[in-house]
Chains A and B, each alone.
Chain A
Amino acid sequence: MTKTAERQPPAPAAAHPAPAPPPARDLRRRRLADQARAYGFLLGGLVCFALFSWYPAIRAVVIAFQKYTPGSSPEWVGTANFTRVLDDPEFTAAWRNTLTFTLLALLIGFAVPFVLALVLNELRHAKAFFRVVVYLPVMIPPVVSALLWKWFYDPGAGLANEALRFLHLPTSDWTNGTDTALVSLVIVATWANMGGTVLIYLAALQSIPGELYEAAELDGAGLLQRIRHVTIPQTRFVILMLMLLQIIATMQVFTEPFVITGGGPENATVTVLYLIYKYAFLYNDFGGACALSVMLLLLLGAFSAVYLRLTRSEGDT
């Protein structure tokens, strides 16, 4: 409402040749001062966003088309970086592994937390205990979780095989087998990150109005029918959001393969981000690394766009 008041004065001020200072100029100066102050508050944040978010995003695209070595001036090379990266046998392996990892993480890291949250929501005792315990691994630094599981998977005295022996089950190669390595890493990631998902589901489950269950029960719906017709529709939105967030997060997996397997055995656990890291810091090929980054960016950007569209449309209703 102050804005409309500010817009009126100029006309009468021009009509009267009054000796008083012209309000229009005064107002403009004050508005300029207000803007200067607003930008003073914004400055620090703006500079950091410009330097570490906007500029690198543009630069990734630029360097993807350059031969870039730090210290010397870059050369334009057209799409040579893309063709070189696409020809790399590790490229196919990295994308296949990343997509498989994401899919497995969805299957394991999605159904398990949902079922756990469903069960936890029914328990009326030791609620705080369950919430703290399930979230505990999330607070352990990811590097420590990775090193811990590397020790568990140890073919010698590792706990994983000891547990299988204790149950009289055949032991596994875990991270040393080309077939089992990726799944082993998915287990680590799920163990480490499940807590957050469970807590978010729990919050969603608690927001379901109890009358819906009562009504369904009066209509004769059994337990599974109530889950299917009340619980899942009511939490559908949260499920979808978490699924997208998890896809975006697991597509960027790096710590587990880097720390536990080093990408092996035989490239079975090289991921896209790991390959980006290798191109930049092992091969010193920043052009190739940026070409890969751009590809990952486009794919994840599409997922993110869907995610933001969903959150926004829900916010409007």
Chain B
Amino acid sequence: MSSTRTLVSPAALARPRGRAVYWTVFTAVVVLFTLAFLFPVYWMVTGATKSPDEVARTPPTLLPEHWHAGGYRDAWDLMELPRHLENTVVQAAGAWAFQLVFCTAAAYALSKLQPVFGKVILGGILATLMVPAQALVVPKYLTVADLPLLHTSLLNAPLAIWLPAVANAFNLYLLKRFFDQLPREVLEAAEIDGAGKLRILWSVVLPMSRPVLGVVSIFALVAVWQDFLWPLMVFSDTGKQPISVALVQLSQNIQLTVLIAAMVIASIPMVALFLVFQRHIIAGIGAGSTKG
């Protein structure tokens, strides 16, 4: 893969002048990336360990004079981070599970079970891609606050995150397209062996769909963890709020170093997830986009 020809020819790069230019550009990009993307993160992580007057000092100190873990400890206790982290984990895990179960089942039905009006339903689902989610938050909020027919409110309950998460046309379509490509013969062979539809989904389709299930899982988890406006509307009860909402609500009246520490803690789970699965995530973004 390194031998593929790009904009600059290998011959030009092999020349002494070409090599000098290459290494200059390379160094410049390394410096630029470090300053633009790594330094802010470094500043955040170390800022939390500075003392309150050191963090407010001009010119600032590049390295903390004393490393205080107190900022992190205070954030953990004063801002009740364990509770908000737990809320976020419950919301994200539930949304992930609901999406996997209901989106997979629906995608399987649309792809393989030929329901009447299947085309209409798929059209209706794809049409929601044209309706940007954020523009509908207010009527969605009113629906969640007073569910039609049932007349119950899901406000301040994790179901308010879990159920709307299922209405994710992008993930459902991703699954359906993957199922469409599964070889028909394998499914038919299972059917001849007497397997029911659920059995086929569970023991044939899902094991063959690991890559797409991985992508959908990551999308589902990241979406809930990063969301702000929807949980802000839905969780007015401070004790139920996920970490993103709690951070903003508490940012007004808390010491800067404590807030920064809380920001670092809130970032760790997603950054860790990314570092572990970076290869898959990066490959997924590239592949998903070019294959449309």
List residues of A whose CB falls within 8 A of some B CB. Answer: 34-35, 37-39, 41-42, 44-46, 48-49, 51-57, 59-60, 63, 68, 70, 118-126, 128, 130-137, 139-144, 147-148, 151-152, 156-157, 159, 162, 165-166, 191, 196, 199-200, 202-208, 210-211, 213-214, 217, 223, 226-227, 230-231, 238, 241-242, 248, 251-252, 254-255, 258-259, 273, 276-277, 280-281, 286, 289-290, 293, 296-297, 300-301, 304-305, 308, 311, 314-315
Collect the chain B residues with CB atoms within 8 Å of residue A231's CB.
7
- B212 contacts A by Cβ under 8 Å: no
Nearest Cβ on chain B to A4's Cβ, whole angstroms: 14
Q: List 18 A-B contacts (CB under 8 A).
A: A41-B105, A52-B164, A52-B167, A53-B169, A60-B139, A118-B7, A135-B274, A140-B267, A141-B266, A143-B248, A147-B248, A200-B285, A203-B290, A259-B228, A281-B233, A290-B139, A293-B138, A304-B129
On whether the beta carbons of B286 and A203 are closer than 8 Å, the reply is: yes
A33 to B49: give the CA distance in the assembly, Å: 65
Most chain A CB atoms below 10 A, which of B8, B201, B273: B8
B6 touching A42, Cβ below 8 Å: no
Distance between B249 CB and nearest chain A CB, rounded to angstroms: 10
Is the CB–CB distance between A125 and B128 below 8 Å? no
Q: In the bound complex, what is the Cα–Cα distance between A52 and B113 (angstroms)?
A: 25
Of residues 43 to 81 in B, which have CB atoms within 8 Å of A's CB atoms? 43-44, 47, 55-60
A107 to B188, CA, bound (A): 53
Does chain A have a CB within 8 A of B216?
A: no
Asked, given contacts A44-B101, A157-B58, whether A35 binds B116 with beta carbons under 8 Å apart, the answer is: yes
Q: Is the beta-carbon distance between A210 and B6 smaller than 8 angstroms?
A: yes
Q: Which of B9, B41, B131 has the most CB of A within 10 A?
A: B131
Cross-chain contact of B5 among A60, A211, A251 (Cβ < 8 A): A211
Q: Which residues of A contact B274 (CB under 8 A)?
A: 132, 135-136, 139
Out of A56, A130, A305, which one reaches B130, CB within 8 Å? Answer: A305
User: For chains A and B in complex, what number of residue pairs have CB atoms within 8 angstroms?
Assistant: 309
Whether A157 contacts B56 by the Cβ 8 Å rule is: yes
B289 touches A54 (CB 8 A): no
Known: A39-B109, A137-B37. A162 touches B229 (CB 8 A): no
Once bound together, how far apart are the Cα atoms of A223 and B9, in whole Å? Answer: 10
Which of A39, A57, A139, A200 sits near B286, CB closer than 8 Å?
A200
A38 x B163 contact (CB < 8 A): no
Q: Please determine whether A304 and B130 come into contact, CB atoms closer than 8 angstroms.
A: yes
Q: Which residues of B contact A157 (CB under 8 A)?
A: 55-58, 60
Known: A59-B143, A143-B247, A202-B286. A132 touches B275 (CB 8 A): yes
B25 part of interface (Cβ distance < 8 Å): yes
CB distance from B263 to the nearest CB of A (A): 5
Whether B128 contacts A53 by the Cβ 8 Å rule is: yes
Q: Given contacts A51-B148, A119-B25, is CB(A148)–CB(B44) below 8 Å?
A: yes
Contact A63 B256 (CB under 8 A): no
- Which residues does B use to contact A, with CB under 8 Å? 2, 4-9, 22, 25-26, 29-30, 33-34, 36-38, 40-41, 43-44, 47, 55-60, 101-103, 105-110, 113-116, 118, 121, 124-126, 128-132, 134-148, 163-164, 166-167, 169, 172, 197, 201, 222, 225-226, 228-229, 233, 243-245, 247-248, 251, 256, 259-260, 263, 266-267, 270-271, 273-275, 278, 281-282, 285-287, 289-290, 292
Give 20 new A-B contacts, CB below 8 A, not counting A57-B128, A144-B244, A289-B138. A48-B102, A48-B167, A51-B163, A51-B167, A52-B143, A52-B167, A53-B131, A60-B136, A60-B138, A122-B22, A124-B2, A143-B266, A162-B59, A203-B289, A206-B286, A207-B290, A213-B9, A241-B289, A296-B135, A304-B129
Closest-by-CB residue of B relative to A42 is B109
Residues on B with C-beta less than 8 A from A199 are: 282, 285-286
* Nearest CB of A to B55, in Å: 7
Contacts of B29 in A (CB 8 A): 119-120, 123, 130
Nearest B residue to A195, CB-CB = B37
Residue of B nearest to A55 (CB): B143
Do A53 and B167 touch across chains, with their CB atoms under 8 A apart? Answer: yes
Residue of B nearest to A204 (CB): B290
Q: State how many angstroms separate the Cβ of A33 from the closest Cβ of chain B.
A: 11
Chain B residues within an 8 Å CB radius of A293: 135-139
Contact across chains for B130 and A141 when beta carbons are under 8 A apart? no
A56 near B143: Cβ-Cβ < 8 Å? yes
Measured in the bound complex, the distance between the Cα atoms of B70 and A20 in whole Å is 84
A125 to B247, CA, bound (A): 39
Counting chain B CB atoms within 10 Å of each CB, the highest count among A63, A136, A308 belongs to A136
A44 touches B142 (CB 8 A): no
In the bound complex, do residue B30 and residue A42 qualify as a contact, i.e. CB atoms below 8 Å apart? no
Which residues does chain A contribute within 8 Å of B110, judged by CB atoms?
Answer: 42
Bound-state Cα–Cα, A38 to B196, Å:
12
A112–B108 alpha-carbon span in the complex (Å): 41
Which residues on the A side are within 8 Å of B243 (C-beta)?
Answer: 141
Residues of B contacting A132 in the complex (Cβ-Cβ under 8 angstroms) = 274-275, 278, 282
What residues on A are CB-neighbors of B60 within 8 Å? 157, 159, 162
